[in-house]
Amino acid sequence: QRHYHIHLAGGFLLYLLSLNMMQVGSLLLMEKQWNTLNRLLQSPLKRSGYIAANFITGIFFLAINLLSIFIVSVLIFRVDVPPLLFALWAYYGMIWILAAIFLALIARSGRVYSAVTSIVTILFAMLGGCYWPLWLMPPFMQKLAMITPQYWANTAAALLQKGHSLF
């Protein structure tokens, strides 16, 4: 029973991290709307430098999220969280930062981006086992879940919480 509650809490945390990291893409879209992006690209700044700057901004947001998780879980609630779990969450967040940048660069408008990110984050969270345990799903859905980052993050988190190594 206790393991089930930990799994759900971890799943919701992964879902919230993916939603928060998608906000990086919305910042990029605001720059597109305000024509800031065109002005920046006319300067000596290269596209790769611009994308790297957005990725670093996302890393800053991710660090704030992870610091918040640390303060709440370790300092306030006194939960014993393995340090590797924070590394896992950081890696997971970076994947979603890259996904957000990619989607923002191909989206035509903020409305399209908002709709696509909502669909992708919710669908992947459902498939990846963030809302309910994977064993509740039929076998073909369990196989399909393996395409989502949430599946792999949930699996790795479960191993870390049981005291196993990822290597």
pLDDT of amino acid 36: 86
pLDDT of amino acid 6: 54
Which tens digits make up the pLDDT trace of 94-110?
Answer: 999 999 999 999 998 99
Helix (H) or strand (E) holding 96: helix 83-106
Q: Which residues of the chain have pLDDT under 70?
A: 1-8
**Dihedral-angle region of residue 129 (phi above 0 means left; psi in -120 to 50 means alpha; beta otherwise):** left
pLDDT of amino acid 86: 94
